[in-house]
């Protein structure tokens, strides 16, 4: 009887986890950020703002750091694990002069349109059935 209860509990707990690591299921999203088809002027971050979670999952934001080559991989819980299924709006940041606590002027390389999830025009819809996906983001600066 005790063995049966342990097996039942183990099965129940495993149904709540994505890949056996205790975290919900994620889908790997990779891509490249470009500015007018060219490499970005510096490193930055792609932000994935959740608008709607897939059934049974919580809303959880994700990010993707990119370097001078523009390549990014998304992270939700652990480095490069991907995004949770759901609908996202995306915005991008790449600072010439980063925000600071000293009150120094800040300046972004990213046009204002792409600095907001509401105006960037970039969206992502990931279902529980979605496999790894590539999403390239080209920012028009002119």
Residue with tokens 């490249």, as numbered in its chain: 32
State how far the Cα of 109 lies from the Cα of 112, in Å rounded to an integer.
Answer: 9
Hey, what are 59's tokens?
């809303």
Domain boundaries, the chain: 24-139
Opening angle at CA 53, ends 48 and 54, nearest 5: 120
Quick one: how far is CA 125 from the chain centroid?
12
State how far the Cα of 137 lies from the Cα of 71, in Å rounded to an integer.
Answer: 10
CATH 2.60.40.1120 holds for 24-139:
yes
> Which contiguous run of DSSP H or E holds residue 138?
strand 137-139
Residue pLDDT tens, the chain, 142 long: 444 334 444 444 444 444 455 677 899 999 999 999 999 999 999 999 999 999 999 999 999 999 999 999 999 999 999 999 999 999 999 998 888 888 888 899 999 999 999 999 999 999 999 999 999 999 999 8
Q: Can you give the pTM of this predicted structure? A: 0.82
């Amino acid at each position: 009887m005790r063995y049966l209860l342990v097996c039942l509990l183990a099965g129940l707990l495993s149904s709540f986890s994505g890949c056996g690591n205790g975290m919900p299921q994620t889908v790997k999203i990779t891509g490249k950020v470009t500015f007018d088809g060219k490499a970005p002027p510096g490193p930055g971050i792609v932000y994935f703002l959740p608008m709607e979670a897939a059934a049974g999952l919580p809303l959880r934001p994700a990010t993707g750091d990119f370097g001078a080559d523009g390549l990014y991989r998304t992270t939700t819980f652990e480095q490069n694990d991907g995004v949770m299924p759901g609908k996202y709006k995306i915005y991008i940041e790449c600072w010439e002069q980063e925000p600071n606590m000293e009150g120094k002027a800040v300046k972004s390389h990213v046009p204002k349109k792409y600095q907001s999830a509401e105006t960037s025009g970039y969206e992502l819809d990931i279902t529980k059935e979605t496999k790894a996906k590539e999403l390239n983001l080209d920012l028009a600066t002119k």
